[in-house]
Amino acid sequence: MDYLLIQMLNGVQLGLLMFLLAAGLTLTFGIMDLVNLAHGSLYMMGAYIAWTLIGLTDSFVLGALLALPVTFLLGIAVEVVVMRRLYARDHLDQVLATFGLILFFNELVRAVWGPAGKSIAVPALLSHTVEILPGVLYPAYRFAIIVVGALVALFLAWLVARTRLGMLIRAGASNRRMIGALGVNIELLFSLVFGLGAVFAGLAGLMAAPISSVKIGMGDDILILALVIIVIGGIGSIKGAFVAAMVVGQIDIVGRAFLPDFLKTFMAPAAASSAAPAISQVLVYVLMAGVLVWRPTGLFGQRN
């Protein structure tokens, strides 16, 4: 029972990390109608930049905090140099260009930081466990991720529901042309949205680093999962991204945790261990397929 609870918490933690990644992505797709495959690269850059800054400042918190504005600026730079020229283009052009960006960033990282992966240690401050329920211990760092992730989610919910920027985001997600007609500085809005997405992606990357890894191409596989999440949730919908991310997080983690034992009842142990992650991935895709059959534009997406 405790084991289940811990796995579910891990699922929440993964879900919140994925939400950070998916939120920026869904905004970019929804408001700017931009297929941005390079979003995973921003996740990766966030982790690498944090590694460098943590090394320089010898403090996880300081390094991480400094990495955020740097990632924001990187996002703005990418937006101004490349993305801006892609808004008016068709999706194929955007796919090609952002694919080129992925290759560029992967190689850039290899040239600057080297081909070997890096590691970021869990900060000493958080390397103990917390007792979340009597007798149930959970790693403090993972708990911190949940807290930070939840705070960001609340912040986004507030931003979208209560601020002028949020109103523009909601309006833009449902009708892009309208926000132009409202006399808004579209260029600035797009840059801000893109930059915001970049920060969240970078934050996800650096937070995930101590518990997974920092390596070339780390953003690419996770990007696919983020894409699945926003398809399930509906493009342009933050709420959808949140719901979908939480569901997918549960399926992925709980699936991985319990499937091997289940599979071992009728499969060889080695086969069961390697089949389990594949099957939990399959379950996520089956979910996506199911949602699409029922609602081709996702759970909370725009129907047009």
Residues of the shown chain interacting with other proteins in the complex, contacts defined by CB under 8 A: 29, 33, 35, 82, 85-86, 89, 91-97, 99-108, 110-111, 220, 224, 227-228, 230-231, 235, 270-271, 274-279, 281-282, 285, 288-289, 292-293, 296-298
Q: CA–CA separation, 206 vs 20, rounded Å?
A: 12
Of the pair 10, 106, the CB lying nearest other proteins is at 106
CB of 16 to other proteins, least distance (A): 21
CA 245 to chain centre: 9
CA pair distance 297, 235, nearest whole angstrom:
7
Nearest distance in Å: CB 92, other proteins: 5
Contacts of 188 (CB under 8 A, 6+ apart): none
The smaller minimum CB distance to other proteins, of residues 6 and 31, is found at 31
**Based on CB atoms, which residue is closest to other proteins, 59 or 297?**
297
User: What Cα–Cα distance (Å) separates residue 295 from each residue in 23, 228, 302?
Assistant: 20, 14, 10
Q: Quick one: 152 or 229, whose CB is closer to other proteins?
A: 229
Quote the least distance from Cβ 122 to other proteins, whole Å.
27
Least distance CB 126 / other proteins (angstroms): 32
Closest to other proteins by CB, 121 or 282:
282
Yes or no: say if 203 and 45 are a contact pair by the CB < 8 Å rule: no
For residues 197 and 23, what is the distance between their CA atoms, to the nearest angstrom? 7
Q: How many residues does the chain have?
A: 304
**Least spacing, CB of residue 113 vs other proteins, in Å:** 12
